[in-house]
A and B are shown apart, each in its own frame.
Chain A
Amino acid sequence: MEVQARSNYFHHFWNSVAISLGSTVIGLLIAVPAAWAMAFSPTKRTKDILLWMLSTKMLPAVGVLVPIYIIFRDLGLLDTRIGLIIIMMLINLPIMVWMLYTYFKEIPGEILEAARMDGATLGKELVYVLTPMAIPGIASTLLLNIILAWNEAFWTLNLTASKAAPLTAFIASYSSPEGLFYAKLSAASTMAIAPIVILGWFSQKQLVRGLTFGAVK
């Protein structure tokens, strides 16, 4: 009750929902065609591109904080949901492409060729043939990225003030070096992780299926 009285939980909650869902959906729209191209029409540079994408995760986030902060300031994206959706989508995109690439590689190319023989266009091939077959993989990628975006605390704390602050900022407001507020901090943390824990509980079947897809030949 005290936590709710001091902070507007639902304001932070809706920001978290918008940021994690928005970044994941936009990320999937980019990652699915990218992974398709890499899995079914690879070039000699595909492996290098995949490695380069992964290498962007190797740089500590704080190393690019000031340039990104200045870009966001100049574009008017500081403390906006759209700004956070963009940054969350960008930081999770390499993982999404990698995961989807791995799943797509498990799908026999002959099935797509058969679809093409039957006159399917590229779009139809993606939507009606590839996507249904890769549903477990896409679902687990989606869920994992929602969780990653929901829990991300560096960018969400640094690029927001009040309007777009998600639940990570809500938890951070209960941490204090002078004074013991463990009960409130625990209450705030439970409220912040509850939605994602519930989502994970209901979707664990899909998640496990997707993550172990192709593990045993």
Chain B
Amino acid sequence: MNISRFMGRRANWTIPYVIFMAFFVVLPLLLVVYYAFIDANGNFSLANFGKFFQQPESLKTFIYSIGIAMVTTFFCILIGYPAAYFMARAEFSTPKLMAVLFILPMWVNILLRTMSTVALFDFIKVPLGEGALIFGLIYDFLPFMIYPIYNTIQKMDQSYIEAAQDLGATRWEVFCKVTVPISMPGVYSGIAMVFMPTISTFAISELLTNNKIRLFGSIIQEHVQIGGAQLNYGAALSLIMLIIIGLTSFFGGEENEVSKDGGLI
């Protein structure tokens, strides 16, 4: 076959990506599904799922994880939205410096950041635990909330604001009735990037709570590490988490339609 003709077809350029995704996304997913539905002897079984609903501990951890994720996401929006707003609006001075300061922690590996947070808490004698965990999660995930919001606000046409002012809106009314609604796609992206990874976090929660608090991610990780029949249970837990996250983002997606012209996802 003529090489140059082969390379000339644009569709052929996607082949490496398709291969990559097949091996590292689709195949692992299939493996998770496969292990979730078999028992230790390799026979088909729904026991792993039954176990999840019978074992109050897993269920409790799962609900607790969602709670933590919600609190984290809430505070990330609370802190991140105004930060993104101030950075994006040219009228405020030194937005560049602020952007750099917020993005700067992202240059450092998330585990290193968490370990230094632990060291910092140690140093100022703050006990590790739930409070430290939430602080750490907010600190780790805040940039992922700020960036998409910043992006949508910055790309927002200035004339929307002027039109609102022209129609009689005060600064506050402009913010509430125009800026916030138009920047919602950015907020949705931010939620997707903060909420979901938080549920499956395990290293951060272990470090920041001295292993006292376990999030859903930790439970999955522990079971998978033990192996054997536990591996199947861990796979089932992973699948449950994926399905629930998938459902929430599907429901979010209905109103999230606008995100095609803003946001990160």
The answer to whether A binds B is no
